[in-house]
Structures are given as structure tokens and as C-alpha cells.
Amino acid sequence: MESRWDKNRDKLKTLLEKNNLDALILTGKENITYATGIRDPTEVLILSNKCQDYLLTSTLDYFRMLNRAPKDILLKAFYRPGEKGTEPPISKSDLIEGGLLDAIKNISSQCGNKISADLAWSNYAIGKYLSDEIKVQDVSNDIAKLREIKDDWEVESIIASIDASEKALRQALDILDSNPTENDVEGVFYSSLMSQGAWGEAFPTIVGFYENTALPHYNPGNIRLQKPGPVLIDFGANMKGYLSDMTRSLWYGEGGKDYKKLIEIVAEAQSNAIDLIKPGVEAWEPDKAARLVFDRENITRYFNHGLGHGVGVEIHEAPYLRPNSKDILEPGMIVTVEPGIYYPGLYGVRIEDMVYVTKNKARLITKFSRILF
């Protein structure tokens, strides 16, 4: 019986037929996870309709990959021979002498001459080798486009990730009355995710108090919540390969009238943007809808990033909702909608939710209340 991950692998193989190619070399961990369901895979996956699929790994990771790789993928370990008696305890049939680049050339050449790769995900050394020596065709854009559209099971996986992160957020918010540090709040969030069986955070959780809420990409520190003020938490879970991404902003304690008003303005901008999301819409249009709300308040210059992005096995993937985006929204896409206003040295507000593009409209798949007073 075909597994869910095998369906993704089959999708990737359609690119071979479409482009008249013999093999596809995947170097990006996210793409290998997408094709196999392996957590933290190493090093390179080679897919082909003309020969066996291969996963190339180091001798260090051979046995870990052996336990996790689909059984119909042949696992090969590359190694550099040393003195006699130092050979790894691995069957000779699974060993390839040389380094990773030697292994890539050895295996890919067995599948044909028309080779492709995901060069956008390759590091410099591998990418240069693939381009100069093997002369691969870059199919990165095709892969990104393929991953934009989620099957029903992928949507369910992302919703499971959302559920885990929202449960963890509730537990993190519960400790605000104990005068925690930003690090304390992140620690509670992370601990909750792991107890739920997550692979970890979708990205390093952002927890900011006071003026730190005005920093869109902030690293939590030892600032302690000791007086009334703003709190921003940007969070997500990696639930068995699929990710989630949300943000909530709130005022802790007494007062905060102006901040709460700003939350309402940002929520209005988000709602207007979500109302525009449906198949056929150009991805710049929801972004513009949010900016029109900020234009009315004369605060658009404090919105310094795009409205949102796709989410799947990567936290940022196509499509991108931002000014001048040429992406067209299609059924099956999942995107974030995250308008924010940031006053440097004072405070910031961001509200971020995830939206599933159905056949007719946008379906909000995050459940946590957007306004927390």
C-alpha cells in the first residue's frame, strides 16, 4: 500500500516525465523529507523512473537512515578507505568509495544522462559540482510550484501542527502571571510541543516583551515581565514534518489603551486581506488590502514586511503575499496572513493566522482568538 509520503515522491517523479529527464537529485533536507517522511535526512536523494531510487548518506548516519528510509529506496553509504581493518561494519554492497560528490556521480550516471536537481536548496560546493561537472537541469521552480498545492492529508498534517502549537501557546500564556522572562515563556512552549510528540519548533520561537515587540525577528532573552506592557509571541510546531506559523500580540496588565487600539487596527487589516483570498487572486492583492487600512491610519511606513507566505515542510515557501508578487492563488495552497505595525523603541503588534485556499474562498484553519485582552 502506498504511503502518504510515497505520493509526494510520485509527484516529484512527474517532473521527470514532464521535462524528459532521467533522474532528479534532491539536496535540500526539506525536499528529502517531502519525498520520504524522514526526520532530519542526510545527505542526497536520487529519484528516477529508469532506475532504483537511492538515498546517499555518510557511514555516520547509515544505520539511522536505515531505520527511517522507505524500504523501496536503496541506501548507500559513502566513505574514504583507510588502513586495513578500518572499514565500517556495513555490507560492501551498500558502500561507495569516495566522498559525497563521488557517490552522486557514481549513482546518477547509472540512471541516464539527463539529470536534474534542486539547486536552489544546494550548498555552494554541491551546487557548483552539479552545475559544472554533471551539468544538471535546475528544476527548483518546478519543485516549489509542486509543493504549493497541498493534498488533503497534507492539510490535515498542518492542522495537527496548528493544534499542537495552539495547545502549547495556552500553556505559555498561563505563566505570564508568574513574572517570567522571555526565555521562560519559550521554554514552556517548547516543552509542551515535545510532550505532544512534535519534532520540535517550526522555527526559533519569538517571545518579546515591551519594546522588543517592535523587532519582527527577535531572539528571546532574560527580560522579565514585571509591569504592564505589550507581549508578542510568534510560534509554530513541526509536527512530523509539516509546520505551522502563528503570532499573537497582547497587553499584559492594566492600561494599554493605545496598544489595544492598534491590535484592533491590525486585526481589521488582516480580516480585509483574508476576505480577498480565493482562487485566481494575484498574491499582491490581499497585501494591498491590508495596507489600505494602514494608509487610512497613516501608519503604513511601520509595516515593513510582506503580508504572508506559504507553509508546508518549510516555514517560508511559495506562494508569497507581498507587493508586486506575480503568484496566483490556487485551491490547495496554505498561506499565512500576518500584518504588523512596529514602532521602533516603543512596541509592535503582529497578528498571524493560517489560511487554506479552497475551491471557492479562504478557510481560516487557526482557531486561537486573534484579540487577547
Q: Specify burial of residue 254 (Cβ count, 10 A radius: 0-12, 13-18, 19+).
A: exposed
Show the 3-state SS of the chain: CCCHHHHHHHHHHHHHHHHCCCEEEECCHHHHHHHHCCCCCCCEEEEECCCCEEEEEECCCHHHHHHHCCCCEEEEEEECCCCCCCCCCCCHHHEEECCHHHHHHHHHCCCCCCEEECHHHCCHHHHHHHHHHHCCEECHHHHHHHHHCCCHHHHHHHHHHHHHHHHHHHHHHCCHHHCCEHHHHHHHHHHHHHHCCCCEECCCCEEEEHHHHHCCCCCCCCCECCCCEEEEEEECEEECCEECCEEEEEEECCCCHHHHHHHHHHHHHHHHHHHHCCCCCECHHHHHHHHHHHHHHCCHHHCCCCCEEECCCCCCEEEEECCCCCCECCCCCEEEECCEEEECCCEEEECEEEEEECCCCEEECCCCCCCEC
Share of the chain above pLDDT 90, in %: 96
Q: pLDDT at position 1, please?
A: 39
C-alpha pair distances (Å), 256 with each of 221, 250, 252, 263? 23, 9, 8, 11
What distance in Å separates the CA atoms of residue 63 and residue 75, rounded to the nearest whole number?
Answer: 10
Average pLDDT over residues 321-328: 96
Residues 304, 290 contacting (CB under 8 angstroms): no
Residue 256 has pLDDT above 90, yes or no: yes
Average pLDDT over residues 222-239: 98
Work out the mean pLDDT of the chain and round it to a whole number.
96
C-alpha pair distances (Å), 323 with each of 158, 239, 296, 306, 315? 26, 31, 18, 7, 20
pLDDT (tens digit per residue) in 258-278: 999 999 999 999 999 999 999
Q: pLDDT at position 2, please?
A: 54
Confidence of residue 80 (pLDDT cuts 50, 70, 90): confident
Q: pLDDT at position 82, please?
A: 74
Average pLDDT over residues 312-322: 98
pLDDT (tens digit per residue) in 336-365: 999 999 999 999 999 999 999 999 999 999
Domains in the chain with CATH codes: 4-146 (3.40.350.10), 152-364 (3.90.230.10)
Average pLDDT over residues 82-86: 65
pLDDT (tens digit per residue) in 162-173: 999 999 999 999
Q: pLDDT at position 83, please?
A: 57
Q: pLDDT at position 85, please?
A: 62
The full length of the chain comes to 373
Confidence of residue 87 (pLDDT cuts 50, 70, 90): confident
Residue 230 has pLDDT above 70, yes or no: yes
Share of the chain above pLDDT 70, in %: 98
Average pLDDT over residues 66-92: 87
Confidence of residue 302 (pLDDT cuts 50, 70, 90): very high
pLDDT (tens digit per residue) in 96-131: 999 999 999 999 999 999 999 999 999 999 999 999
Average pLDDT over residues 201-213: 98
pTM of the model: 0.95
Q: Which three cell numbers stand for residue 158?
A: 498542518
What distance in Å separates the CA atoms of residue 36 and residue 42, rounded to the nearest whole number?
Answer: 12
Confidence of residue 255 (pLDDT cuts 50, 70, 90): very high
Average pLDDT over residues 302-315: 98
Residue 148 has pLDDT above 80, yes or no: yes
Burial code of 264-281, b = ≥16 C-beta within 10 A, e = fewer?
ebbbbbbbbbbebbbbeb
Average pLDDT over residues 3-28: 96
What distance in Å separates the CA atoms of residue 172 and residue 180, rounded to the nearest whole number?
Answer: 10
Give the residue among 162, 158, 120, 169 at the shortest CA–CA distance from 241: 158
